[in-house]
Amino acid sequence: MKGPARELEELTEAGLLRSLRPLESGAGPKVIREGRELWNFASNDYLGLAAHPALGEAFIEGVRRYGAGAAASRLVCGTLPPHRELEEALAAAKGSEAALSFPSGFATAAGSLPALAGKDDFLILDKLCHASLIDGARLSGATIRVFPHNDLAKLEKLLESIRNKDAKARVIVVTESVFSMDGDLCPLREIVEAKDRHGALLFLDEAHAFGVLGPYGMGLAEALGLQDLVDFQMGTLSKAAGLSGGYLATTNAWRDLLVNRARSFIYTTAPPPALAHAALASLRIIRSEEGAELRLKLRENIEVISPGHPSAIVPVICGSSEAAMGAARELEEAGFMVPAIRYPTVPRGRARLRVSLSAAHQGDVVRDLAGLLEEGVNHG
């Protein structure tokens, strides 16, 4: 029997071994790792809210009012006032009847999809969907179909084929508004039109669009005025919101079904009430004038790195794992923390640097990074 040591050797030989490299500071645009100060272009803190004083104060207030932990699952006695208040605020912000919060974005996807689809149903996924969506689809037992990234013609053919065989099956199209490794957008309007033509549902992961896109930062669906046409709006509180957690916004009936079937919701202790209390404060900031100003600053920083790019995630394609790791080391030596992303997170031969921009980044620092990238590698 092959032991873990041999498997680790194989990962090392393939240039795919990963290890934890703890920081010696808190989250922020500048961090300390192994005694060195580095400009942080690795996190998903797109608006710089992780260190916002209002969130820290709300967290402390939440602990004082509700304690440090929920002490039980939501269905036992773990549903506390901040959980309900956050879900009501999320539903209102997303233009839906209801919302349900989860401990993480991964738990949201992995619990929701098996609750919404079963062995007699179909899930159609974009090829570049996040691992949590893929795992959730597999757990569902539904028939899974995959279409090439953003390929509307193939999506249409899959929908037609399924409907020709089964006019009554539940069919759910699963995609992301902003894809986490390429930073590009899905053709949301056309996908909505396609799923409506064929009587399907749409599960949209807005994880990397929440806080960033739309007049009030509610994502691509808000930006395009399509919130009421998206059946399931998923998102996280772990990125632009500066905290942790996930949610799904939908109708009252679908929410009630999730409460009864989503195992990652039912069989886990509720998130700390103080976290929900702080998330409510974060949501208020995102939707405020201050949030709009932060999005404007973020947009300015994106334009410096990659003019016209639609999101805060800018990939710099290097090709091989070795090239990406080497580029990341060079940037670290220059004072910038930019992660190298390798297989299996991205396809073989498409290893890259993943530059994550934040409103908290200073303009001169962003320009310095842009200059280094221009000198060393070309954007993919």
| Residues sharing a CB contact under 8 Å with residue 195, sequence separation 6 or more, in sequence order | 159, 171, 173, 201, 202
Tell whether the model's pLDDT for residue 171 goes beyond 60. Answer: yes
289 is catalytic: no
Which pLDDT band, with edges at 50, 70 and 90, does 73 fall under? very high
Question: Residue 379 above 50 pLDDT?
Answer: no
Based on the residue annotation, tell me whether 205 is a catalytic residue of this protein: yes
For 332-361, how does the pLDDT look when each residue is reduced to its tens digit (9 = 90+)?
A: 999 999 999 999 999 999 999 999 999 999
Query: Does the annotation count 30 as an active-site position?
Result: no
User: Could you give all domains of the chain from N- to C-terminal order, each with its CATH number?
Assistant: 21-46+312-376 (3.90.1150.10), 74-286 (3.40.640.10)
Active site annotation includes 208: yes
Helices (H), the chain: 4-13, 53-66, 81-94, 105-116, 131-140, 152-165, 188-197, 220-223, 252-261, 263-266, 273-286, 289-305, 321-333, 363-376
* Active-site position among 130, 277, 309, 361: 130
Q: Determine contact, residues 174/129, Cβ cutoff 8 Å.
A: yes
pLDDT tens track for 3-36: 999 998 998 888 888 899 898 998 889 999 999 9
> How far is 102 from 261, CA to CA, in rounded Å?
13
Catalytic residue among 40, 43, 44, 321: 44
In Å, what is the CA distance from 131 to each residue of 13, 135, 175, 310, 356?
Answer: 24, 6, 12, 22, 19
Q: What is the pLDDT of residue 292?
A: 98
| Amino acid at position 340, single letter | A
Catalytic: which of 83, 94, 195, 208? 208
The pLDDT-based confidence of 376 (bands split at 50, 70, 90) is confident
Angstrom distance (rounded) from CA 63 to CA 154: 50
- Answer yes or no: is pLDDT of 207 > 50: yes
Q: To the nearest whole number, what is the mean pLDDT of the chain?
A: 96
- pLDDT for 15 equals 83
Using the Cα atoms of residue 351, residue 352, residue 358 and residue 361 in order, give the sign of their dihedral: positive
Mean pLDDT of 223-229: 98
Catalytic residue, from 121, 126, 205, 231: name it. Answer: 205
pLDDT of 378 reads 42
The burial of 289, by beta-carbon neighbours within 10 Å (0-12 exposed, 13-18 middle, 19 or more buried), is given as: exposed
316 in Cβ contact with 353 (< 8 Å): yes
Q: What is the C-alpha radius of gyration for the chain, rounded to an integer number of angstroms?
A: 21
Q: Tell whether the model's pLDDT for residue 377 goes beyond 70.
A: no
260 catalytic per annotation: no
pTM: predicted TM-score of the whole model, two decimal places: 0.96
371: exposed, middle or buried (C-beta count within 10 Å: 0-12, 13-18, 19+)?
Answer: exposed
- Give the model's confidence band at 2: pLDDT under 50 very low, under 70 low, under 90 confident, else very high: confident
Mean pLDDT on 84-112:
98
Closest CA to 17 of 328, 317, 336, 343: 343
Cβ–Cβ < 8 Å for 23, 32: yes
* Nearest residue to 360 (alpha-carbon basis) of 300, 308, 271: 300
Catalytic residue among 83, 239, 277, 361: 239
CA–CA dist 343, 180 (Å, integer): 14
Residue whose token pair is 């037609």: 160
Active site residue 150: no
Q: Which of 121, 176, 206, 231 is catalytic?
A: 176
Q: Report DSSP state, residue 51.
A: G
